[in-house]
Amino acid sequence: MRPAAASAVLGLALAVGAPTAWALTRPEPAAGIPVEQALPAPAAPAGAGDLPALPTVTARDAAPAAAVAAPAPARISVPAWGVDAPVDAVGIAADGQMELPDDVSRVGWYRFGPAPGADGSAVLAGHVDDREQGTGALYPLKDAAVGDEVTVTDAAGTATRWRVVSRQVITKQALPLDRLFARDGAPRLTLITCGGPFLPEFRSYRDNVVVVAEPVP
Amino acid sequence: MSTLRTLGSAAGAAAVVGGLVLVATPATAADTATVSVLHGIPNTPVDVYANGERLIDDFQPGTLTDALTLPAGAYDLAIFPADAPDGSGEPLLEADDVAVPAGANATVVAHLEEDGSPTLTPFVNDASPVAAGQARVTVRHTAAAPAVDVRAGGTPVVEGLTNPDEATLTVPASTITADVTLAGTDTVAIGPADLTLAEGTSTIVYAWGNGEAGYDLAVQTISGMHSMPAGVPGGSAGLADDTSSLPMVAALSVAGLAVAGAGVARVARNRG
């Protein structure tokens, strides 16, 4: 083949091949079952149909009593992702969003929701990156695979073990927040960070990466 | 609350017969109501009857029932001294046709009026959601005592509260040290006591008792009023953007097209 024809063929191959290869090597946006399916369904309100006319009554002392707080998670470890990060108890930021540790190498636990292992969805979340600090502890979340094992250890050293059942990239406006932050239903561990396209004008990502894990039996 | 207060004092004329109405909060459950009963009359164990049947046996002062889910409807309530033979004798207090509307959340309190006479007051509990991170706290004056101030950490947060009124605040979830003083003074009547105001819950604090038996606090907690965070932030650098290589891919593709175009042009020229 003459050089001119060869360059025409090679050029075409590059023109078609580059986007094709890019598309083929992109990570899958989701793995496992959908997030909403992995989280416990909200309980249906009880009807009055089968209520006895008068219920059995239990009474208790109403004197003020000290509340016993569940031990807070202190560390998250995921060997498959090379993650071993300290966990801070966090609440609500001034803008109403979940508060996250400023240090992207740390992970926040939503302290108003369940602790890992209690009923409902225990939420651990962290910044995926920061312009000065670089990538965050939960950066590998976007590549989580079904079956990956996660260990969360509390301050007393008690560990809960979890297995990933779902990973999904969800537009922030479409997050099922009531399910992600559910306080009842079977215990789940929900990990959240940012992902999807970066929107420089908002200095923010368009989507959240959500991973849901079930307790290891 | 003026309606409620009127109804409360109507019931307070002891042994009043007639229309107590619990004001319904916006309906949640279709045909049930949530009702708790608090006993705040010192030194007087009682039996509580509803519609002629014994609902609570040997109900002790300072105790609270767990929340009861009742079919909505009208209830005749009567309270007898606990040592009286069942269903006989004169009731200590009675209220007929207490309306319990669907979706209501209420606490019926047997307590003393300011002058020391026993009464039944139904309070409507605000079970509407609070913002994420917040807690609701309600204080209710059900003691045989004049006006009081309620302080948190030594600072008055509710002033001049009289029996059987209430005041409600929404505050960030926290643990506070609360006490009750005679209104406008630093004379502590009750407390201090540590109160955990848990996020997404309502903590209802009752001041009850009288001068002889002493004053005390009773605490009721209602949970499930929590709201969700508005979202989860999470990155500011764009390092995790898997579309960031797109411009480079496009450039490669265009370059490929250019090379191919040049090649085709040369092939055409060579032929021509």
Q: Is A40 exposed, middle or buried (0-12, 13-18, 19+ CB in 10 A)?
A: middle
* Beta carbons within 8 Å of A102's beta carbon, 6+ residues apart: none
Residue-range definition of the domain harbouring residue A110 = 28-40+70-215
Please check whether residue B13 lies inside any domain of the structure.
yes
Please check whether residue A60 lies inside any domain of the structure.
no
For residues B103 and B146, membership in a common domain is answered with no
Q: What is the mean pLDDT of residues A171-181?
A: 94
Please check whether residue B215 lies inside any domain of the structure.
yes
Please check whether residue B271 lies inside any domain of the structure.
no
Q: What is the mean pLDDT of residues A100-127?
A: 96
pLDDT at B139 over 80: yes
**Structurally, how many domains does chain A consist of?**
1
Confidence of residue B87 (pLDDT cuts 50, 70, 90): low
Report the residue of chain B nearest A9, measured CA to CA. B260
> B31-35, B102-106, B233-237 — which is least confidently predicted?
B233-237
CA nearest to B47, candidates B86, B97, B100, B90:
B86
pLDDT at B127 over 50: yes
Tell me the backbone φ, ψ of residue B44, rounded to 5 degrees. Answer: -135, 85
Interface test with B, best of A1, A2, A10, A14 (most B CBs within 10 A): A14
CB within 8 Å of chain A, chain B residues 101-160: 131-133
Please check whether residue A102 lies inside any domain of the structure.
yes
Please check whether residue B142 lies inside any domain of the structure.
yes
Q: What is the mean pLDDT of residues A137-146?
A: 95
3-state DSSP assignment of residue A139 = helix
Please check whether residue A1 lies inside any domain of the structure.
no
Contacts of A27 in chain B (CB under 8 A): 242
For residues B4 and B119, membership in a common domain is answered with yes
Report the residue of chain B nearest A177, measured CA to CA. B228
3-state secondary structure chain B: CHHHHHHHHHHHCCCECCCCECCCCCCCCCCEEEEEEEEECCCCCEEEEECCEEEEEEECCCEEECCEEEECEEEEEEEEECCCCCCCCCCCEEEEEEEECCCCEEEEEEEECCCCCEEEEEEECCCCCCCCCEEEEEEEEEECCCCEEEEECCEEEEEEECCCCEEEEEEECEEEEEEEEECCCCCEEEEEEEEEECCCCEEEEEEEEECCCEEEEEEEEECCCCCCCCCCCCCCCCCCCCCCCHHHHHHHHHHHHHHHHHHHHHHHHHHC
For residues B16 and B108, membership in a common domain is answered with yes
3-state DSSP assignment of residue A130 = strand
Indicate which CATH number applies to the domain containing A106: 2.40.260.10
Q: Do A62 and B193 touch (CB under 8 A)?
A: no
Please check whether residue B263 lies inside any domain of the structure.
no
For residues B62 and B96, membership in a common domain is answered with yes
For residues B105 and B22, membership in a common domain is answered with yes
Confidence of residue B18 (pLDDT cuts 50, 70, 90): very low
Share of chain B above pLDDT 70, in %: 85
Please check whether residue A158 lies inside any domain of the structure.
yes
Q: Which residues pair with B137 in a beta bridge?
A: B169, B203
Q: Do B270 and A4 touch (CB under 8 A)?
A: yes
Provide the mean pLDDT of chain B.
84
Question: Which of B104, B125, B146 is the last residue in one of the domains?
Answer: B125
CA nearest to B58, candidates B47, B70, B69:
B47
Q: What is the mean pLDDT of residues B153-172?
A: 95
pLDDT at B83 over 50: yes
Please check whether residue A59 lies inside any domain of the structure.
no
Q: Do A180 and B228 touch (CB under 8 A)?
A: yes
Q: ipTM of the assembly?
A: 0.80
Confidence of residue B225 (pLDDT cuts 50, 70, 90): very high
* Other residues' Cβ atoms within 10 Å of the Cβ of residue B198: 18
* Beta carbons within 8 Å of A26's beta carbon, 6+ residues apart: B242
Tell me the backbone φ, ψ of residue B4, rounded to 5 degrees. Answer: -60, -45
Please check whether residue B268 lies inside any domain of the structure.
no
Q: At what angle do helices A3-25 and B246-271 cross, to 10 degrees?
A: 160
- Distance in Å from the first CA to the final CA of chain B: 98
Q: What is the mean pLDDT of residues B74-78?
A: 90
* Predicted local confidence at residue A50, as pLDDT: 53
Give A187-202 pLDDT, tens digit per residue. 999 999 999 889 888 8
Indicate which CATH number applies to the domain containing B43: 2.60.40
Residue-range definition of the domain harbouring residue B53 = 1-125
* Other residues' Cβ atoms within 10 Å of the Cβ of residue B53: 10
* Predicted local confidence at residue B223, as pLDDT: 92
Please check whether residue A49 lies inside any domain of the structure.
no
**Structurally, how many domains does chain B consist of?**
2
Q: What is the mean pLDDT of residues A163-173?
A: 95
Please check whether residue B264 lies inside any domain of the structure.
no
CB distance from B247 to chain A under 8 Å? no
pLDDT at B8 over 60: no
For residues B134 and B114, membership in a common domain is answered with no
Please check whether residue B98 lies inside any domain of the structure.
yes
For residues B21 and B61, membership in a common domain is answered with yes
For residues B62 and B158, membership in a common domain is answered with no
Dihedral sign for Cα B65, B66, B70, B73, please: positive
Contacts of B230 in chain A (CB under 8 A): 95-97, 177
* Predicted local confidence at residue A68, as pLDDT: 77
Please check whether residue A196 lies inside any domain of the structure.
yes
Give A24-79 pLDDT, tens digit per residue. 666 667 888 898 888 877 666 555 455 556 678 888 899 988 777 778 999 999 99
Q: Do A47 and B242 touch (CB under 8 A)?
A: no
